[in-house]
Structure 1
């Protein structure tokens, strides 16, 4: 079992070698059954290898079926027989003379505790692999994500949450960098992209709360690396998943691969048809200068979002020789949909006497198309761990969005028509070189280069009754050229592991408003140091201390000063003068394992300068007596974030598994926002704020009689105050059931997302001349039924994880 690759290769060679070695010879049959020694359960896909002792080139072999049985054809002779299964101790029968058909009977294999520390077991629960600078969550048979998307997977991972608008946060911090297969997502709208990729396409998610110098410095709150499946098993195998649900949630996806000695063909295909109905309301009270009531506006909103999406990846991995491989893949995503946003604005006077109703209907059509080519070349040298890799990613993304806004009111016969057109094109090229050099026992040196070049053009146009509105029409060109080099040195002395890194990034960014001929260029370069210390207190516990410096660059919607007209009284306006924010992060962690309990804790402190905040201010304009409010992102002074987190895994019985996560943090913000109001007066808005918040999550998985799995997820995100109001707490719960059928080759699963219809964004806002209360629910409660079928593939794969472009660091087992 120490050389899994050799074993698999020998197994693949057996068919071709036997074809030559056995010509003209009588075939004999060797049979038997392989079981787990303790439970007596059959082991499917155990490997049997027979080596002829007089002719080492004569090799025969096979694998067990779902009953643990095997049958291997050989010629007469003397053989060494090896029976193996990953994470189990192998059994070897030496010098077995075979002159006739032979039955080896029942062979029992025992689990190898040492090898269990080396492999990732994708079994009945999500497993965690603790490394020096990250945690890896291997997505197993999580019932909640069947028929779902990447967003659903992320929302089920401890430390990670996805709010009602699809915004991803890590330990309560929204400044998160999201990577897919180690590369920045090439999608213009990452939120929508995560809702398009099917959950079943995910192999694992790497959660890096404090990234080392190897990674992009982007992401003040850390990063998430989503690794997609690429098929690793020998021969032809795969998984097909179909789902249906209410509201409409229909999909079909599959992961297939064919692997031989020389190459691996893999593909993941998925199609979905969804409706995500949502709703929102915003009740506002407008005030006069003296603080008395001016009027009331109660705004109700209903959304119907219909979408069709296709996501497909196809690729080939070529094993040039034992030390060199070259992978090439193409990913194509296409989606289209329509979103009807129906807004009713009920107006009341100062005594809350009804006046009239305004109805705005926004009929929006969207079309998105993305294509990406990725190539990865890996050369492993003679010395173990000595490696050179090259990665290239070239992508093009087109998003087209058109909307017709109809505005009517009960107090007038006038009908206003607004047409909005938002066309976006993004071209992105990424080039990466990584080199790893072992220097001796427990020492390793790494170095690399990353070039990331992005060109995003946003053409936004608004027409009022056929006439172009210059206030909301612009072409924004965003060009980003980032060149980075890094090096890091790792050393392990006895039980102490240390990793020191330094990254240098040169940023050259153009923000050009072509219609107004306003051209801006921002150049800056920065060093990003990192340091990690880990000490193994015992075989079952470890502690770590880490530091890193990070950056958060503003992009897209945050920069575009002409970006939104969905509401005529609440308008979002981007800020092209936004500067990047910088974060210094310190993290202390501790992990302890007992027989049935695993505890992982963390204390963290982040200091961020030029932090982003969203400021709301009056424009000076009124719509039928209602003040028009503008919301824009701004840079303010400093933010201090301190927190405590723990994750607890507990298995009281074999049939019951519990997982809980708790995060508490305090945020202290210091800074002022100075601007000139519509009357020409200088206004200084103070953003000093002290707030605390917390979140918790509990997952329970129980195996009921008849082998029915029952999973319950409950989460609560606590309230949090800000300088202009507060966000209220939200509780949500999901339920799921599953049952294996067709001799465990198929699985039926049923889940209910948001059982109580309570997953909403609830907030209160207090401005000088307006107070408001709002609730927003992006997607209402959903029911989903799915069917999974696996062929030539075990339900629970036990296999060593494959290195990718972001792996290779010195690891420890906590």
Structure 2
């Protein structure tokens, strides 16, 4: 063979060898992975490439947020496996190579319930840790792998209960404050159900605080639940669509979305709804001196239409810096109709006058809430952080009411009145918190908070006289309220494996001013208070701990307690405010034992609360008209015992119970009259949750609240029950929910005021509410529990 031919032959052979090598190195395998039930993409699904001969893995990757993957391999004799937690693994051995590519197109994965059950058994379990001033529930894979919502996780936390409508209570008290990452958030605000956009796999831990330290606002609270979100997790898309209908009208539609990427967590919600709240009322005003009585019986409907939108984002600047920006807007339209039948009796119990009073009220309420937060973490320690947050909100109410008195018998004349209310509220909260751990067992916290509250209430009453509307100056005025509270705090803590101690001090300066503009009456107050706190705990073992806590609290009077003008719905029973009202101060002591016995958790608490300048309503009576307003009267010393527990005796049965009893000793002196008295009150709530076959859940709860005394009143006891049933379908993606609130329509609020010269009786009843809802969850999680009843 001649040299040119040899060179040509070698060139051809070399080219073929290079082509084969290039082919081996450039085969690209691509495709998209989706769920069988929803056809939605699966993020973080694992794609593994195996050598057919050795069965060893030679390459691999995970899918992106759109379920797409692309892998380059050198070995053409391969097979492919696609897997994701909770789904059946798919093995692919047949494929076609075209243009150096293997396009697997769309790969559908089916859910594997058996695999999921096995994961629950073998995975890390959620568990509770006992800290100095709180209990910490760490969310393990047994919950995070289920795709459940935040409300379902809360339902697994000791002392916390979430009813079938999604309302959260702590130790049986629904006045709990919910924080996200240690701060108020639009995600946890009472006007939205955006908490449902948070899934279990986003949650790192949940902190339960029953006696807050100096770090938290000194304003009185029933307790705090803090949901801590994982710092940086790529979670893809999840959300839910909910539809609710009810009797009386309780109709709503909601759409919640949450999208997490490497840098962003985007969350949003829209909702519309219509509610009707019927009511029945009865009142008795009895003049015991002249034996004249005025009784009224009435009923009415409060109707509300509302819409809201929420949108926000967490932006991860990097691993250590996060910015959150969010906002929500709601618009409500209200109308109210009521009819009351008034009867006047003389000393012989004969009806002397009888008339009907009708009311028609219309109002619009726009609400705006917005939030900016910056959080910085530090490489030095995982718990070292700096947090700044700014929250703002505004609320307006334009309300008009018309009242008519229509006589039936007696000397009562036709009488018409109308009222106008222009109300505006603006709140701003600025917080700065810094946490600095050192020497492994020590932590210092310091920070400040500034809260601004501005309110204007323009209230006017007009009477129809000779065909003209004439303003009543005695009932009309413009009330302005402004309160600024500046707080700074420092806490220091030591904590080891067995015991710990935390002390803190908070200083708050309050500047309060009220003004009755029309009559030019002003009240100004400026006071500074120190609020110390101390907490200690001792862990005897992993199942038994003791906690002891002390804190000083304040309860400032709210606008309704300060505003001297109120509704004229019943001209014979009037409730007003008191611009001179001062705040209450409480020293709160609490010792708690925490027990874990198998699947049972029990908490026993002894507490004492000593309150000064107690705010109580005092009624005066003149010309058959009772007028009540709050006054600061004396002290109240309360000692109580509380027990709450969560028991799971069977796999299909869990029982939550709360019992609280306290004894109080009141001492006070008002208008030359002693108001010293003693009393007690107790309450209990038991909730049973039953898991039935075919994915049915039943919830039955009973609530009893004993009668008790106040300064002048006796408040009646209350016994009522709620029922709910839930059914999961489509592999947990859809939830059907039926709830009945106040099953026996027995929740009636009654008060009696018995004084030497007068007797008052008041009764109010709302009745039974039945709601049916359907919720569909998509993406990572199950259907979220979007409440059928808008929280107020």
TM-score range, shorter chain: 0.7 to 0.9
Distance in 2 between the 1:229 and 1:494 partners?
A: 24
Relative distance call for 1:29 and 1:199 in structure 2 (3 A) is closer
Distance in 1 between the 2:722 and 2:362 partners?
A: 31
Distance in 1 between the 2:489 and 2:660 partners?
A: 32
1:427 corresponds in structure 2 to: 426
1:164 corresponds in structure 2 to: none
Relative distance call for 1:571 and 1:333 in structure 2 (3 A) is same
1:519-530 paired onto structure 2 within 5 Å: 519-530=522-533
Secondary structure of the 1:558 match is helix
Q: Given the two structures, how large is their TM-score scaled by the length of structure 2?
A: 0.80
Q: 2:139 aligns with which of 104, 119, 136?
A: 119
Distance in 1 between the 2:419 and 2:641 partners?
A: 45
1:393 corresponds in structure 2 to: 391
1:732 corresponds in structure 2 to: 720
1:40 corresponds in structure 2 to: none
1:295 corresponds in structure 2 to: 292
Q: 2:171 aligns with which of 142, 158, 161?
A: 158
Distance in 1 between the 2:228 and 2:470 partners?
A: 47
| Unaligned runs of at least 5 residues, structure 2 | 1-23, 36-41, 51-56, 87-101, 128-137, 785-792
2:753 corresponds in structure 1 to: 765
Distance in 1 between the 2:417 and 2:58 partners?
A: 77
2:608 corresponds in structure 1 to: 605
1:265 corresponds in structure 2 to: 266
Residue 560 of structure 1: CA displacement?
1.0
Residue 269 of structure 1: CA displacement?
1.8
- Contact kept in structure 1, 2:197 and 2:258, CA below 8 Å: no
Distance in 2 between the 1:202 and 1:462 partners?
A: 47
Q: 2:778 aligns with which of 773, 785, 791?
A: 791
Distance in 1 between the 2:60 and 2:390 partners?
A: 39
Residue 321 of structure 1: CA displacement?
0.7
Secondary structure of the 1:212 match is coil
Residue 406 of structure 1: CA displacement?
1.0
| Per-residue deviation, residues 206-244 of structure 1 (Å, max 9, x unmatched) | 764311111111116556779999998722221111100
Counterpart check, 1:561 vs 2:564:
yes
Residue 425 of structure 1: CA displacement?
0.9
> Aligned pairs, how many?
696
Structure 1 range deviating more: 223-232 or 239-248:
223-232
Secondary structure of the 1:350 match is coil
1:25 corresponds in structure 2 to: 27
| Per-residue deviation, residues 302-328 of structure 1 (Å, max 9, x unmatched) | 120100112321011111111111010
1:223-238 paired onto structure 2 within 5 Å: 234-238=235-239
Relative distance call for 1:128 and 1:533 in structure 2 (3 A) is farther
Distance in 2 between the 1:528 and 1:112 partners?
A: 47
Relative distance call for 1:415 and 1:227 in structure 2 (3 A) is farther
1:460 corresponds in structure 2 to: 459
Secondary structure of the 2:220 match is coil
Secondary structure of the 2:422 match is strand
| Unaligned runs of at least 5 residues, structure 1 | 1-21, 34-43, 87-99, 146-152, 162-167, 171-176, 675-683, 798-814
Secondary structure of the 1:557 match is helix
Distance in 1 between the 2:214 and 2:709 partners?
A: 34
Distance in 2 between the 1:202 and 1:370 partners?
A: 23
Distance in 2 between the 1:424 and 1:180 partners?
A: 30
- Contact kept in structure 2, 1:473 and 1:562, CA below 8 Å: yes
Residue 611 of structure 1: CA displacement?
0.9
Q: 2:545 aligns with which of 534, 542, 546?
A: 542
Distance in 2 between the 1:294 and 1:597 partners?
A: 58
Relative distance call for 1:690 and 1:243 in structure 2 (3 A) is same
Distance in 2 between the 1:227 and 1:24 partners?
A: 45
Residue 564 of structure 1: CA displacement?
2.7
- Across the aligned residues of Structure 1 and Structure 2, the Cα RMSD in angstroms comes to 4.0
Q: 1:480 aligns with which of 475, 483, 486?
A: 483
Distance in 1 between the 2:185 and 2:260 partners?
A: 28
2:670 corresponds in structure 1 to: 673
- Contact kept in structure 1, 2:459 and 2:565, CA below 8 Å: yes
Distance in 2 between the 1:673 and 1:436 partners?
A: 47
Distance in 2 between the 1:228 and 1:520 partners?
A: 44
1:200-219 paired onto structure 2 within 5 Å: 208-219=209-220
Q: 2:661 aligns with which of 645, 660, 664?
A: 664
1:809 corresponds in structure 2 to: none
Q: Given the two structures, how large is their TM-score scaled by the length of structure 1?
A: 0.78
- Contact kept in structure 1, 2:726 and 2:738, CA below 8 Å: yes
- Contact kept in structure 2, 1:545 and 1:587, CA below 8 Å: yes
Counterpart check, 1:583 vs 2:586:
yes
- Contact kept in structure 2, 1:127 and 1:138, CA below 8 Å: no
2:97 corresponds in structure 1 to: none
Structure 1 range deviating more: 760-769 or 476-485:
760-769
- Contact kept in structure 1, 2:239 and 2:781, CA below 8 Å: no
Residue 332 of structure 1: CA displacement?
0.8
Distance in 2 between the 1:326 and 1:541 partners?
A: 39
Q: 2:377 aligns with which of 380, 389, 397?
A: 380
Distance in 1 between the 2:197 and 2:337 partners?
A: 30
